Amino acid sequence: MPVYSEKVMDHFQNPRNVGEIANADGIGELGNPTCGDIMKIYIKVKDNVIEDVKFKTFGCGAAVATSSMVTELVKGKTLEEAEKISNAAVAEALDGLPPVKMHCSNLAADALHLAIEDYKSVQAGKGHIAKVETCDHDHEGIEGLEHA
């Protein structure tokens, strides 16, 4: 069984910003068919700043913890700042993840980026992007990528 940091355990047991935002400005949904994790992130934007963010995640403890952490990292940030949040930054903010769970941080950051892309689509007059993306990371360098 993977060993998790205290921060991972805290965000798993006491997740922040759980739920959904009615009339969200942007929604990003991402699933990983390999392990079954699904994340949905909702953002509310005002004056180019993410003023509210919520998530719903179906998955393992690391998936819940990374979703919770990514919402904490972006609240109050500009869209440009939020777009720079990387998969590695999410894992680092949680004091690391076991190698077999690094794919969970990929989902969190990528779902956020999809929510921002969705917001920009709406702002451009194209409407919401009505699709669920599938994680296509090849997870290189991750030994033994199995869902534990």
| Active-site hit among 104, 111, 112, 114 | 104
| Active-site hit among 35, 85, 100, 112 | 35
| Contact (CB, 8 A) for 102 and 65 | no
Is 60 annotated as catalytic?
A: no
Is 135 annotated as catalytic?
A: no
List, as own/partner pairs, every contact residues 3-6 make where C-beta atoms lie below 8 angstroms and the sequence separation is at least 24, other chains included.
3/98, 4/61, 4/62, 4/65, 4/97, 4/98, 5/94, 5/95, 5/96, 5/97, 6/95
Which residues share a beta bridge with 133? 30
Q: How far is CA 135 from CA 51, 76, 106, 127, in A?
A: 27, 27, 8, 23
Residues identified as active-site = 35, 104
